[in-house]
A and B are shown apart, each in its own frame.
Chain A
C-alpha cells in the first residue's frame, strides 16, 4: 500500500508550527490552502482502501478526498511554479547545469539539518540545505575565478564532492538506531505523498517570495541575465542579482526535494523552461509558460504516482515535463523542428519553381519574346535536364497556377510571368549592385545572385533600384525588367504574341 493512503497523520501534525513570515507574504496561496483544508471530513481511513482498482484510484484522485493527496498535489503545483520561474532564468543564462550542481550540493545540508535534532524538521532542513546550496554556488565561482579549471569542471566537482559528503552523513545517520530516521532517504528520489501541511506552508511561503522578488526586481533580473556588461555599466549590482538568483534557486531546490528528489530536481528546473524557450521570444511570456508547464508536470507526477502503490513521484514529473518539451521541440510554431522542416521544404520547392520560371524567361528572352510557348525540349536544353525532368517541373508549375501545358508546350500564366520577371530582376539588380557597390568582378557575381534572388523582399528591391539610379542594364549588358514591365505582364494577360516585355 502506498504512502498516500496513510494520509491522516500529516493533518494532525499540521497545526503545530507556523512561520512568522508566512501569513504576510502569501495570502492568496494561503486562501487556496484553506479551501482544501475545510474538506477534512472526507479523509479516508487506512482500512477502507486496502484494495482499489485503477478506475477507483482515478476517481479518488479527481475528487481530492484524501488530505495527503491534496497536500501532494498543492505541493507539486507550487513546486512547478517555483522551478519554472527560476528555471527560465537558468536556461536563458546558459546556466542550466548550475541547477543540477546546486541540487546535489544541498544534500549535506539536508543531512546536517536532520542531525540538528534528529527529526525531519522542515525548518532545520530548509536552513541547512539552503546554506549548503549557497556554499556550493560560492565554491563554483571561487574555483572558476582562482584556477584554470573550466566552469563545467567546477560544477561537476562541486556536485560530486558535496553529494559524497552528504552521502557520508546520511549513511552515518542511517547507522544510528534513532526514531524518526525514516524519510531522510526519500530525499534522493522523492515521494510527494510525504508532503505534510507544514511542508505545504513552507512551499507556499517560498513560492510567494520568489514570485514577489522576480516581479519587483524583474528589470534587474532581466538586464543582468541578458547583458551583464551593459547592466554593470548602467549601475546594476550584477553580483547581487547573481547571488539573489542563486538564493532563490537554492530555496526552490530545497522545497522541491521532498517531492522530486535530489537527482531529478534539475529536470524540473530545466525542462519546463526549455520547452517555454522553444515557444516564445519574450522573457515574461517564457516565465509564465515555464510555470504553467511546471504546474502540469507537477500534477502529472502527483497523479501517476497515485495510481499504484510505491510508484515514485519525481520520475513521473520529469516525464510529464519531458513530454511537454518534446511537444514544443517538435511542434513549436516558430522554432519547432517540424515547422522549421516544413518551411525549409516549402522554401526549397519554391526555389526550384522559381528557377524553372527563370529558365523559361531566359528561353523567351533569347528569341526576343517571339511566340509565347516554350517547349519542354527547349526548357530541358536550357536547364541541361532530361525531358522527363522538365515535364515534372512543368507539372509542378501548373499545379501552382504559374504555367499551362498544352501537348509539350508550356505557356506562362500572367502570375507565372510576373514571378519570372521579378526573379530575373532581383538577380540582375543584385549583380549590378555587387559590381557597382562592392567592386566585385563581373564574372564573380552570378553565384551570389543565384542565391539571393529568392529571398530579396519588395522593399529591398526598391532600395536597390534607388541606389543604382534605376539602371536599365545589368553588368552583362542584359535588360533589367522594371516594375512597369512586371505590372504590364500582370495587367494584360490575354495579349498574344508578346509577354509584356520588350515590345
Chain B
C-alpha cells in the first residue's frame, strides 16, 4: 500500500512548515504556531500531570478531560455562544462535579476509587454526547471534535490583539496565558502541593488544607483541559498529562528536575510530532503523542537507573535483578 505512507521529502516535511505561507498572519509560518501550540498544551498539562502522578491519580486526569464535555455543552446551550468565559465556568463546574461524584461514591459505599472514577466520567461523558446529538442544530460542536481537535488549523484562526497589536492565533495566546498561570500557581504553591501530594497527614499538621489543595488542583486541571480541548482534542491532553512526567520520572527523582525535563520533553515532542504529521498527513495532535511516546520508550530503554538495557546488563553480569531502592538502583547485598 504505497499511498499509506507518503514518500519522505525533506523539503515538504522539514522545510515547508517553516517557510511562511498559509497562516492568518503571513509573516509567520504555519509550523511556528503549531509547534508553539503543541508546546504550550503539553507543558501546561505535563506540569499539572506531575502532581496527579505523585498522587496516583493519573487516571483522574483522563476522567476529567472526558467529563468536562457536558459542562461545555450546557454552557453552549445556556449562553448560546462559543464565548470562552461561559465555557470555562461550565468546564470548571463539570470538573468539580466529577471530583465530588468520585469522592461521594467511594466514601459512601464499598465501591473502590478506580471503579468510582470509571462510573463518574463515563456517565458524564455520555450525558455530554447525548446533549450534543439531541441539540445538534443549536450547538456548534460535534462529538468527534472532542477527540479530533486539530492543531493543524490553529494558525488559521483569527489573531488575538492586545492594545491594537496582533499577538497570534487566539487559542495559542490563550493557551500561553494558561501556561504562564500554571507556572505561577505552581511557583506560589510549590511547597503546599509538594507536601500535600506526598503526605497529606503531614500537610494537615503543617496547617496546609490538603482538601483545598486537592480541589484546587482538580479545578485548575479542568481549566487547562478546557482551554486545550477545543483546538487540540482530548487525546493530546490525556497523553501529555502523563507521558512527559513519566519519562522524566524514569531519569530522575527530584521534583524540580522532573518539572524542567517535562518542559523539555514537550518542546522536543511537539517539534518532532508536527513534522511527523506533515510527513504522514495525519492528525497532528496524535502525531505529537506518538513522538512523546517515542521519547518515553527511549528513556525506558536507556534510563541509567531503571532502564531495560541496564537491567539486562545487570542480569548478565550479576545473574540477578537490580535492586531498586528509593529510585536508585543499588547493588544487592
Q: Residues of A with Cβ closer than 8 Å to B?
A: 91, 94-97, 99-100, 115, 143, 146-150, 152-153, 155-157, 159-161, 163-165, 167-172, 175-176, 185, 188-189, 263-264, 266-267, 269-271, 273-274, 277-278, 308, 310-312, 314-316, 318-319, 322, 325, 329, 335, 337, 340
Secondary structure at the B interface, as helix, strand, loop or mixed, is: helix
Closest to A163 in B: B235
Closest to B311 in A: A146
Closest to B327 in A: A148
Does B110 lie within 8 Å of A335, measured CB to CB? yes
8 closest A-B pairs by CB: A267-B122, A164-B289, A160-B239, A315-B126, A167-B286, A270-B118, A318-B126, A96-B115
Q: Which residues of A contact B327 (CB under 8 A)?
A: 148
Q: Which of B238-264 contact A (CB under 8 A)?
A: 238-239, 241-243, 245-246, 249-250
Does A99 lie within 8 Å of B61, measured CB to CB? no
Does A156 lie within 8 Å of B62, measured CB to CB? yes
**If A188-B147, A311-B134, A316-B126 touch, does A161 touch B119 (CB 8 Å cutoff)?**
no
Does B246 lie within 8 Å of A153, measured CB to CB? yes
A interface footprint on B138-165 (CB within 8 Å = 1, 0 otherwise): 0000011001000000000000000000
Residue of A165, A176, A267, A315 most packed against chain B (CB within 10 A): A315
Which residue from A148, A311, A315 sits with its C-beta under 8 Å from B306? A148
Does B286 lie within 8 Å of A274, measured CB to CB? no
Does A147 lie within 8 Å of B306, measured CB to CB? yes
Whether, in the assembled complex, B170 has its beta carbon less than 8 Å from a beta carbon of chain A, the answer is: no
Complex CA distance for A52 and B159, rounded to whole angstroms = 47
A-B contact pairs, 26 of them (CB 8 A): A91-B115, A100-B118, A143-B300, A146-B306, A148-B327, A150-B56, A150-B58, A152-B53, A152-B57, A153-B246, A157-B246, A159-B238, A160-B243, A160-B289, A161-B239, A161-B290, A163-B239, A175-B281, A176-B4, A264-B122, A264-B125, A271-B118, A277-B115, A319-B127, A322-B123, A325-B119
Does A97 lie within 8 Å of B293, measured CB to CB? no
Which residue from A149, A266, A329 sits with its C-beta under 8 Å from B249? A149
Does B324 lie within 8 Å of A148, measured CB to CB? yes
Which residue from A95, A152, A175, A271 sits with its C-beta under 8 Å from B282? A175
Does A150 lie within 8 Å of B4, measured CB to CB? no
Complex CA distance for A147 and B241, rounded to whole angstroms = 18
Does A319 lie within 8 Å of B111, measured CB to CB? no
Complex CA distance for A96 and B113, rounded to whole angstroms = 9
Does A311 lie within 8 Å of B239, measured CB to CB? no
Complex CA distance for A180 and B245, rounded to whole angstroms = 40
Q: Which of B280-294 contact A (CB under 8 A)?
A: 280-283, 285-287, 289-290, 293
Does B112 lie within 8 Å of A96, measured CB to CB? yes
Q: Which residues of A contact B287 (CB under 8 A)?
A: 164, 168
Whether, in the assembled complex, B76 has its beta carbon less than 8 Å from a beta carbon of chain A, the answer is: no
Does B129 lie within 8 Å of A274, measured CB to CB? no
Does A97 lie within 8 Å of B59, measured CB to CB? yes
Q: Which of B53-96 contact A (CB under 8 A)?
A: 53, 56-59, 61-62, 66
**If A96-B118, A267-B126 touch, does A164 touch B59 (CB 8 Å cutoff)?**
no
Complex CA distance for A159 and B293, rounded to whole angstroms = 11
Q: Which residues of B contact A171 (CB under 8 A)?
A: 281-283, 286
The minimal Cβ–Cβ distance linking A473 to chain B, given in whole angstroms, is: 44
The minimal Cβ–Cβ distance linking A85 to chain B, given in whole angstroms, is: 16
Complex CA distance for A147 and B242, rounded to whole angstroms = 15
Q: Which residues of B contact A311 (CB under 8 A)?
A: 130, 133-134
**If A147-B300, A160-B289 touch, does A337 touch B108 (CB 8 Å cutoff)?**
yes
The minimal Cβ–Cβ distance linking B130 to chain A, given in whole angstroms, is: 5
Q: In the complex, given contacts A148-B327, A165-B293, A189-B144, what are 12 additional A-B residue pairs having Cβ atoms less than 8 angstroms apart?
A: A94-B114, A96-B115, A156-B59, A157-B246, A160-B289, A172-B281, A176-B4, A274-B115, A278-B109, A278-B111, A315-B127, A319-B126
Whether, in the assembled complex, B1 has its beta carbon less than 8 Å from a beta carbon of chain A, the answer is: yes
**If A175-B281, A188-B144 touch, does A312 touch B130 (CB 8 Å cutoff)?**
yes
The minimal Cβ–Cβ distance linking B138 to chain A, given in whole angstroms, is: 14
Whether, in the assembled complex, B208 has its beta carbon less than 8 Å from a beta carbon of chain A, the answer is: no
Does A100 lie within 8 Å of B62, measured CB to CB? yes
Complex CA distance for A96 and B111, rounded to whole angstroms = 10
Q: Which residues of A contact B105 (CB under 8 A)?
A: 329
Does A316 lie within 8 Å of B58, measured CB to CB? no
Does A168 lie within 8 Å of B296, measured CB to CB? no
Does B59 lie within 8 Å of A157, measured CB to CB? no
Closest to B299 in A: A147
The minimal Cβ–Cβ distance linking B55 to chain A, given in whole angstroms, is: 9
Q: Which residues of B contact A176 (CB under 8 A)?
A: 3-4
Q: Which of B213-236 contact A (CB under 8 A)?
A: 235-236
Whether, in the assembled complex, B47 has its beta carbon less than 8 Å from a beta carbon of chain A, the answer is: no
The minimal Cβ–Cβ distance linking A180 to chain B, given in whole angstroms, is: 14
Residue of A164, A269, A270, A322 most packed against chain B (CB within 10 A): A164
Whether, in the assembled complex, B166 has its beta carbon less than 8 Å from a beta carbon of chain A, the answer is: no
Does B289 lie within 8 Å of A161, measured CB to CB? yes
Q: Which residues of B contact A329 (CB under 8 A)?
A: 105, 108-109, 111
Complex CA distance for A156 and B245, rounded to whole angstroms = 12
Complex CA distance for A97 and B285, rounded to whole angstroms = 24
Q: Which residues of B contact A278 (CB under 8 A)?
A: 109-111
The minimal Cβ–Cβ distance linking B322 to chain A, given in whole angstroms, is: 10
The minimal Cβ–Cβ distance linking A458 to chain B, given in whole angstroms, is: 29
Q: Which residues of B contact A160 (CB under 8 A)?
A: 62, 235, 238-239, 242-243, 289, 293
Does B4 lie within 8 Å of A161, measured CB to CB? no
The minimal Cβ–Cβ distance linking B143 to chain A, given in whole angstroms, is: 6
Q: Which residues of A contact B126 (CB under 8 A)?
A: 264, 267, 314-316, 318-319, 322
Complex CA distance for A340 and B107, rounded to whole angstroms = 13
Complex CA distance for A274 and B66, rounded to whole angstroms = 20
Q: Which residues of B contact A319 (CB under 8 A)?
A: 123, 126-127, 130
Complex CA distance for A189 and B146, rounded to whole angstroms = 11
Q: Which residues of A contact B4 (CB under 8 A)?
A: 115, 172, 176
Q: Which residues of A contact B324 (CB under 8 A)?
A: 148
Complex CA distance for A99 and B3, rounded to whole angstroms = 34
Complex CA distance for A318 and B66, rounded to whole angstroms = 14
Complex CA distance for A185 and B146, rounded to whole angstroms = 13
Complex CA distance for A100 and B59, rounded to whole angstroms = 10
Closest to B150 in A: A171
Whether, in the assembled complex, B183 has its beta carbon less than 8 Å from a beta carbon of chain A, the answer is: no
Q: Which residues of A contact B109 (CB under 8 A)?
A: 278, 329, 335, 337
Complex CA distance for A263 and B324, rounded to whole angstroms = 36
Q: Which residues of B contact A175 (CB under 8 A)?
A: 281-282
Q: Which residues of B contact A308 (CB under 8 A)?
A: 134
**If A95-B114, A96-B114 touch, does A263 touch B66 (CB 8 Å cutoff)?**
yes
Complex CA distance for A463 and B186, rounded to whole angstroms = 60
The minimal Cβ–Cβ distance linking A215 to chain B, given in whole angstroms, is: 24
Whether, in the assembled complex, B178 has its beta carbon less than 8 Å from a beta carbon of chain A, the answer is: no
Does B119 lie within 8 Å of A168, measured CB to CB? no
Complex CA distance for A170 and B246, rounded to whole angstroms = 26
Which residue from A97, A147, A159, A314 sits with its C-beta under 8 Å from B118? A97
Complex CA distance for A111 and B117, rounded to whole angstroms = 28
Q: Which residues of B contact A340 (CB under 8 A)?
A: 108
Q: Which residues of A contact B133 (CB under 8 A)?
A: 310-312, 315
Complex CA distance for A274 and B113, rounded to whole angstroms = 11
Closest to A172 in B: B282
Does B53 lie within 8 Å of A150, measured CB to CB? yes
Does A149 lie within 8 Å of B246, measured CB to CB? yes
Complex CA distance for A185 and B109, rounded to whole angstroms = 37
